[in-house]
Amino acid sequence: MTTASAAPTAASPAQAEARPPAATSRPWRNPWRHAWFLEGFTWLYLLWSLAPIAIAVLFSFNKGKSQASYQGLSLRWYTTDKLQSVLHNPTLHHAVIQTLWLSFLTTLIAVPLGVAFALGINRWRSRTSSTFNYVMILSFVVPELIFGVAMFFVFTTLFSSIVQLGTWAEVLGLVTWNVSWPAIIVQARLVTIGKQYEEASADLGCTQLQTMRRVLLPLLTPAIFASVILVFSSVIDDFVIVDLLSSTSLTQPMSVIIYSTQHGGNGGPALNALATIMLVMSFVVAGAGYLGYRWMTRGERIDGKQAIATIAGV
């Protein structure tokens, strides 16, 4: 008595070759996710955004007055020309000095105020502390044009007898606009370093002033340095506030001079040279700030999510 085997018999090699191959389905791949496409799009964006800047910088070294045809490399519009160069034109020369002066004064006032504000908010424990945290963050949402117009009415209507439009009105407006930057940066630093260092200093017998001077301020140095760089660089290219609060050409920084002169159709290669100086100043300050901050915070691991959540009062 024999039993039928349930297992299938193995096919011969000839039968296996004659059998048609099984159809394989490839999953659909989104071409937008290809690495070559994303890389190419990034390079296209960089070329589109940087090409006009490169052309403007190139024509600042043009020998002639034309802004359409390049006539050779020259420093005429920087130093050589005795009438129209940035060095010898009183308006352009003073615009560079006014920009640096506004940046210096704004940084000198805004950063200490922002640091003090951050320390106060960080140690404020009440039901209203979170509200002030939100108010500090919401200041970034206010359009600069609305803020500038408001400051214009403040100095022309409310305090016209105390502060006139000009350099000090510009400084006060810029300080009010930029004080939130150091406040947020320093508060984020306070969250990341924690309170264990202050508590250890108190256990060792240090007073609050000694703890502030010997423990807290050295730990806050990277954040204070970053605040200085950020405020200084933001004032260099600020336009709206200084344009509304300036009084004469002697109180106009580079951004206002570039816009007013070019908008009136009187621009030339000297204006390109002034814009190039402004661009170089911003890049130098930003680069120095980045390198300095990386050097000061070397070896540290910063929890950015915790800092943001604490600042927001979550």
Residues 241-259 pLDDT 10s = 999 998 887 888 998 988 8
Q: Return the bridge partners of 62, or none.
A: 73
**Whole-structure pTM over 0.85, yes or no?**
no
Does residue 56 form part of some domain? no
Q: How many domains does the chain have?
A: 1
Domain span holding position 250: 102-311
Please report the pLDDT score of residue 235 as a whole number.
Answer: 92
Q: Measured between alpha carbons, how far is 191 from 171 in angstroms, rounded to an integer?
A: 30
Q: Evaluate whether 270 touches 85 at the Cβ level (below 8 Å).
A: yes
Q: At what angle do helices 217-236 and 90-123 cross, to 10 degrees?
A: 140
Q: Measured between alpha carbons, how far is 58 from 69 in angstroms, rounded to an integer?
A: 11
Does residue 265 form part of some domain? yes
Q: Measured between alpha carbons, how far is 67 from 82 in angstroms, rounded to an integer?
A: 20
Does residue 200 form part of some domain? yes
Does residue 278 form part of some domain? yes
pLDDT digit string, tens, across residues 97-139: 999 999 999 999 999 998 888 888 877 766 666 667 676 766 6
Does residue 260 form part of some domain? yes
Residue 219 sits in a domain of what CATH number?
Answer: 1.10.3720.10
Does residue 19 form part of some domain? no
Residue of 242, 245, 247 lying closest to 258 (CA atoms) = 242
Q: Measured between alpha carbons, how far is 149 from 245 in angstroms, rounded to an integer?
A: 9
Does residue 123 form part of some domain? yes
Does residue 21 form part of some domain? no
- Mean pLDDT, the chain, integer: 79
